[in-house]
Structure 1
Amino acid sequence: MDIVEKRIPDQKVAYVPHIDSFSKLPEFIEEVGQLISENKLEAVGFPYGSYDNDLEEYAENRQIFEVGMPIKDFYADGKPAGRIGKLGLKELTEHTVLSGKHKGSHKNFNETVKKIVKYAVENQYDIVGPITEIYLPANENTPVEEIETEVQLPVIYMGPKRD
């Protein structure tokens, strides 16, 4: 797996927080998409899941995460909205991530995360935010072992000055 440093631009996102099982992720992604549509917001990117907790530390049905999607804008009566019912709305500032692609089922997902964390530590990055999974589009008939998920780990480079 190739791990690359990349900049994520400022973005607005619509999300729903959960304490539940990752096995329900497809229905949570669908829910966010429906809420975005019902509230006449415009999705401008792929769905994501973001979590702070260690997947091995929490019971499978007690994972703490949010599921969301980048959106074009969010305004209510000409002012930025913070929440529309169950749907949270927030702005993320530009930031740096280490990014890698996980291929296949989520059964061995922690191995991908561990590789990225190890890379961060070995290359003098401080981890400054939650792991985020970007769910890349795949055809309906794509075998599970071929599905790709981008894994992003927010970091700050703390090593020697670079040009």
Structure 2
Amino acid sequence: MGKPEALAQSAFAEALSALIDIALIRNRRAGNDLNGAFTYLLTPKQFDRIRKICKEQGWGVPNQRGILIDLETVAHPLKSRMGKDLCTAAEVLEILLAAYSPQSQVGLNRPKYAQAIVFNTRRKVRIGNASFYAVAVVKVRVEGPRKYLAPVTAYHATEAKIRNIS
């Protein structure tokens, strides 16, 4: 990874970490709106793959490369992973960083309609004493002429689960 890419990854990590801190604080104070923050831009290869999947499935084909990373993007995985899997906030951050990565691949989330997944098989994340792959689930949203990918959740998965992804 070159210097510009390393700087971008570092800035992305800092921004996600800040969102996690805000989400944890707001989780303690019910009733606050979760607002947008920044956009993760898919690589051209990732965007081409997601467009191909959408065409093959007959879904709306995204016309925007960005995925909005807002407080809900981190709040849902925080709540789910910390509640169900007893992950720490730092482990959830690692899942998000690994999933939303230029090294990640894109596949179809088979059991769900209009959902794709972004998964990283190059970098594993440590959850407790075990290693897993990071997965982000995104879905196609259509608002007038705007067709974009919206985050659904993020989680850690075994190698067997990743193999079942197209």
Fold match (TM-score > 0.5): no
Report the TM-score when normalising by structure 2. Answer: 0.28
Bigger Rg, which one = 1
| Structure with the higher fraction of residues in strand conformation | 1
| Bigger relative CO (Cα 8 Å, ≥ 6 apart) | 1
| Structure with the higher fraction of residues in helix conformation | 2
Report the TM-score when normalising by structure 1. Answer: 0.29
